[in-house]
Every structure is written in structure tokens, then in C-alpha cells.
């Protein structure tokens, strides 16, 4: 190929908003045909090599050859759940009978954060790490990140899966990696100023925490070298528009987000339009299940995201319950044909409340909290039970400009309560908390605090 031809292709690639335009804009008919081919092959692979899936399929009276359509796969392949894997791993550590590869093919071990229970052990093969890393690149590229950029990881690099896969993605893109290691918040700030990276990788709340601490140090991070911030682990800029504004103002940078599930994949990069995420249909097949009927939820309605990962050769995941509530759209003006999840994750099946007949979703409440003047970035949603009713109480810290004026805190809380009532048609309790009294987190922030008696909590397996 001539030098001129290579230069032309390079220029086109640099200008495109798509990392892989062919796959990201593939017509739905072709995508579905590809999915069926891969789902049938994956079912055969899991049945032949994973004792766990052989038992599941045999109990359901199903053989891989019986899967002739996508509908067959959705309806007939048994649902699986994290709790099953955790139970098997506790009985036969570290992975139970779920592996589909010999243990010596596992090159990396991680664990989930365990915020909703016992941590899940996650085995990755070398192939898994490469494909998982590729999943991040779709979102990096759409935001504008290129191989010439350098990544700063505000991440401790422990067993928690966290941003290990984002590191694999940075390497796949060919970027320079700078590690924050075990530094504290001030140490991260000083390292960024010293090493001058252009991309910050962190949870969104920790990015805001760093900006607040920097301001206390007399440092304006909007004037730093950072041009992009990229986030995962909790609702961020695509789920919470007000948080996007806060992040971009604090850092003077474009903010992006990816929806990931540690044991599944970095499964949904942010939409180039910035208003939701797209399922990476090269690595994941997904559909929405109606939480009440167990049938398929129609596009444009809220359902539980059920996923099957093509990126997990070590521990396959077929029809895996995420417990994430999503609103799926079949198309998007951005040009991607991959399924779009508006607002990323709206809430969870185990944390969805019905307050006096009104469904209350976590993301809707968090958006209103973030948009209310005078409310700081630290807050909690506390769930309790009174009689036959679920109750949500919002505890918030005032923003820095109101921290020294306790007389204003109740008024701020009343304004937040009124906004929630106007938008969601339900009254939630709102209580101010003293500045710096609520917990801070470097990794995944725990917003939802469930204090309901166990017998009243919604079961993960309905």
C-alpha cells in the first residue's frame, strides 16, 4: 500500500468518532445473525467444558443443538446469577466448577467489590484480558482520546477488579500509563501536577473529591494538564447530567463514562452524544427482562439487563442476571446501531422502591440531588421500613459555600424535597448532615444504604 494511501486512511481514522466503524454501525439484521452464530457456539463451548453449565443445561432438558433462534436462547437457556457462582466458590474455592479452561490458563485473578455481599472471584484468561481491554477503547476513542494521550490511574491496584481492565484498554490503544498506586488524595493531585497526564481514570465521585481537596490546597485543577476524565464503577456523567457539569467544570476537561460489570465485560461505552451508553455488541449479547413477569420487556420500557458475554473464556456467563434496571432503545442519532441504554443504569431490582404507589429509581433521585443548589457532592440514600411501606431518607452535606452557615441547611433540604416532589410526585425525607461527616470513598461510592429488615428486602432471585 502506498504511503499516500496509508496517510489518507490514518487521517480518516483520526477524524472518525468510531473506533471500529464497521462493527459499531452494522445493520441490525447482520448483528442478529452474528449473535445467533456466536450464541450457539458459546452454548456448545460452555456445555462441553464447564461442569456448571452441563448441570444447568441437563436440568433444563436442553442441548446446545436445540438453540435454533435468538428467541430459543432467551427463553430456554437457564438464567444464571452471581449468587450461584459465589456459593459454588465458597464450597470449592477459588472458582468452583464454573471454569471452562484448565486453571493454568487463568493469567489474572480479580474480585468484585463485594458492596452487596460476599466478593465474587473472577478468573481471566489472556484472551479475556485482551478483549476486555478492547471494550474500553470504543468509549475512549468516541470521547476524543488518542494514542498520543497519557493515562493517570487514581486506583490502588489491589484484587478489586476496578480499573484493571481500563489499564488493558489504555495499553490496547497504545497510550502511556501513569500509576497513582497507593497514594492518598493529595498525593494523586501532586502526581498529576508533576507528571502532566492528559487522561484521568477514576470513579466520578473520587474525581470530584480530588477537585475539592485541590481547592483546599489552593490548586485549580481546571488549569491542569488533564483534557479528559473517564469513569466507571458508579453512576457518572452519562447517567447524571448534573455530575457531568460538575466534573467538566472542576477539571476543565471532557468527561466520559463506561458501564461495566467486573465479571462480565466493560460492556457499554458512553454514547458519542453523551446521553447514555451503548451495549458493546461485539463482546456482549443482552436483552431486558420484565422484573414482574419474567418475560421480555419491550424496547422503551424499563427491565432488568440480562447479559451473555463472549469475552469470558475462563468463566462463561450465559443469560446472566445483572439486577440492573435499564431502558433500552434500538437506535440512536449518533450512528451506532448497538442497543442504547438511556441513562445507563436507572437503579437495581434489589433497590427499586415503590413509595405510596410510585416507583422511585435511584438515578432519578441522584439527578435531582446533584441539580439542587447548595447540596454538596457527598450524600446518601438510606432505606428503612415503616409498617408496610419502604421509606427513603436523603442525607446530604451542604456545598462548601454553605458549610459555615448551618441556618441555611434546612432551607436547602426543603428546596431539594420540593424538587423531588415536583419531578417524581412523591415526598422523600431530606436531612442535612454536617460538613465532612459522611463517608468518602476512593473507589466505588456506596450511595444506597439499606437498613430495612432482611425479611422485607427484595430478594435477588425472584
Q: What is the pLDDT of residues 200-212, one digit of tens each?
A: 999 998 999 999 9
Number of other CB atoms surrounding residue 249 within 10 Å: 12
Q: Which residue has the higher pLDDT, 160 or 387?
A: 160
Taking alpha carbons only, the member of 267, 247, 269 closest to residue 258 is 269
Confidence of residue 356 (pLDDT cuts 50, 70, 90): low
Q: Where in the chain is the domain with CATH 3.40.50.12780?
A: 17-347
Give 442 or 16, the one with higher predicted confidence: 16
Residue 160 has pLDDT above 80, yes or no: yes
Cα angle for residues 288, 46, 292 (degrees, 5° grid): 25
- Give the residue among 300, 314, 448 at the shortest CA–CA distance from 369: 448
pLDDT at 217 over 90: yes
Smallest CA-to-CA distance from 105 within 89, 124, 87 is with: 124
pLDDT for 252 beyond 50: yes
Instruction: Tell me what the mean pLDDT of segment 87-109 comes to.
Output: 95
* Cα separations in angstroms, 208 against 193, 395, 444: 16, 18, 13
Helix axes 204-216, 185-195, angle to 10 degrees: 80
Is the backbone of residue 344 left (phi > 0), alpha (psi -120 to 50) or beta?
A: left
Q: Is the pLDDT of residue 1 over 70?
A: no
46-71: average pLDDT: 97
- Rounded distance between C-alpha atoms, residue 176 and residue 330, angstroms: 36
260, 38 in Cβ contact below 8 A? no
Percent of the chain scored above 70 by pLDDT? Answer: 93
pLDDT of residue 375: 93
Instruction: Look up the CATH architecture of domain 17-347.
Output: 3-Layer(aba) Sandwich (3.40)
The contacts found for 379-384 with CB under 8 angstroms, 24 or more apart, are 379/438, 379/447, 380/438, 380/446, 380/447, 380/448, 380/449, 381/447, 381/448, 381/449, 382/449, 382/451, 383/351, 383/353, 383/448, 383/449, 383/450, 383/451, 383/452, 384/451, 384/452
In percent, how much of the chain has pLDDT > 90?
A: 69
Across all residues in the chain, what is the average pLDDT?
90
In the predicted structure, residue 292 carries a pLDDT above the cut 80: yes
Q: Binning pLDDT at 50, 70 and 90, where does residue 113 land?
A: low
pLDDT at 4 over 70: no
Closest CA to 376 of 394, 393, 360, 392: 394
Residue intervals of the chain classified under CATH 3.30.300.30 are 353-456
> How far separated are the first and last CA of the chain, in Å rounded?
58
pLDDT value at 453 more than 90: no
What is the DSSP track for 322-356?
A: EEEEEEEES--TTS--S-EETTS--EETTT-EEET
Q: Grid coordinates standing for 364?
A: 432519578
pLDDT at 119: 87
> Of 236, 334, 312, which is closest to residue 25 (Cα–Cα)?
334
Asked if pLDDT for residue 176 goes beyond 80, the answer is yes
Per-residue pLDDT at 171 exceeds 50: yes
State the Cα–Cα distance between residues 57 and 65, nearest whole angstrom.
11
Report the pLDDT value the prediction gives residue 114, as an integer from 0 to 100: 53
Query: Predicted confidence band at 13 (pLDDT cuts at 50, 70, 90)?
Result: low
CA gap 181, 165 in Å, rounded: 15
Binned at pLDDT 50, 70 and 90, residue 117 comes out as: low
436/358: higher pLDDT:
436
Q: 353-456: which CATH topology? A: GMP Synthetase; Chain A, domain 3 (3.30.300)
Greatest alpha-carbon pair distance for the chain in Å reads 76
For residue 461, the model assigns a pLDDT of: 38
**What's the residue count for the chain?**
462
Q: What is the mean pLDDT of residues 381-408?
A: 88
304 vs 118, 120, 352, CA distance in Å?
22, 20, 11
From the number of C-beta atoms within 10 Å of its C-beta (0-12, 13-18, 19+), residue 460 rates as: middle
C-alpha cell at 4: 499516500
Amino acid at each position: 500500500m502506498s504511503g499516500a494511501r496509508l496517510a489518507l486512511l490514518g487521517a480518516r481514522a483520526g477524524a472518525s468518532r468510531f473506533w471500529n466503524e464497521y462493527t459499531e454501525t452494522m445493520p441490525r439484521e447482520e448483528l442478529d445473525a452474528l449473535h445467533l452464530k456466536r450464541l450457539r457456539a458459546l452454548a456448545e463451548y460452555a456445555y462441553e467444558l464447564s461442569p456448571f453449565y452441563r448441570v444447568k443445561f441437563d436440568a433444563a432438558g436442553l442441548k446446545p443443538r436445540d438453540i435454533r433462534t435468538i428467541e430459543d436462547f432467551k427463553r430456554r437457556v437457564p438464567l444464571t446469577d452471581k449468587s450461584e457462582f459465589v456459593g459454588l466458590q465458597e464450597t470449592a474455592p477459588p472458582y468452583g466448577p464454573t471454569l471452562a479452561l484448565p486453571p493454568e490458563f487463568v493469567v489474572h485473578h480479580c474480585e468484585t467489590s463485594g458492596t452487596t455481599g460476599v466478593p465474587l472471584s473472577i478468573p481471566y484468561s489472556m484472551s479475556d484480558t485482551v478483549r476486555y481491554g478492547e471494550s474500553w477503547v470504543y468509549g475512549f476513542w468516541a470521547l476524543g482520546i488518542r494514542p498520543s494521550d497519557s493515562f493517570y490511574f487514581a486506583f490502588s491496584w489491589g484484587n478489586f477488579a476496578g480499573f484493571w481492565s481500563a489499564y488493558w484498554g489504555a495499553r490496547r490503544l497504545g497510550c502511556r500509563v501513569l500509576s497513582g498506586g497507593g497514594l492518598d488524595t493529595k498525593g494523586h493531585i501532586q502526581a498529576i501536577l508533576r507528571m502532566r497526564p492528559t487522561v484521568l481514570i477514576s470513579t466520578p465521585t473520587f474525581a470530584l473529591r480530588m477537585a475539592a481537596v485541590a481547592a483546599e490546597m489552593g490548586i485549580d485543577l481546571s488549569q491542569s494538564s488533564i483534557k479528559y476524565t473517564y469513569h466507571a464503577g458508579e453512576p457518572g456523567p452519562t447517567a447524571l447530567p448534573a455530575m457531568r457539569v460538575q466534573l467538566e467544570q472542576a477539571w476543565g476537561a471532557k468527561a466520559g463514562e463506561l458501564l461495566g460489570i467486573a465479571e462480565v465485560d466493560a460492556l457499554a461505552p458512553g454514547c458519542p452524544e453523551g446521553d447514555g451508553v451503548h451495549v458493546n455488541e461485539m463482546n456482549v449479547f443482552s436483552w431486558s427482562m420484565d422484573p414482574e413477569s419474567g418475560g421480555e420487556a419491550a424496547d422503551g420500557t424499563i427491565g432488568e439487563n440480562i447479559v451473555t458475554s463472549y469475552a469470558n473464556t475462563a468463566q462463561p456467563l450465559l443469560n446472566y442476571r445483572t439486577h440492573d434496571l435499564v431502558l433500552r432503545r434500538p437506535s440512536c442519532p449518533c450512528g451506532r446501531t448497538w442497543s442504547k441504554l438511556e441513562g445507563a443504569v436507572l437503579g437495581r431490582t434489589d433497590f427499586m422502591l415503590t413509595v405510596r404507589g410510585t416507583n422511585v429509581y435511584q438515578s432519578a433521585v441522584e439527578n435531582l440531588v446533584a441539580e439542587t443548589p447548595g447540596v454538596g457532592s457527598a450524600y446518601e440514600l438510606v432505606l428503612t421500613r415503616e409498617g408496610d411501606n419502604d421509606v427513603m431518607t436523603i442525607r446530604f452535606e451542604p456545598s462548601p459555600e454553605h458549610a459555615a452557615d448551618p441556618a441555611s441547611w434546612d432551607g436547602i433540604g426543603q428546596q431539594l424535597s420540593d424538587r423531588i416532589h415536583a419531578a417524581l410526585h412523591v415526598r422523600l425525607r431530606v436531612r442535612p448532615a454536617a460538613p465532612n461527616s459522611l463517608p468518602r470513598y476512593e473507589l466505588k461510592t456506596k450511595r444506597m444504604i439499606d437498613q430495612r429488615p432482611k425479611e422485607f428486602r427484595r430478594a435477588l432471585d425472584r
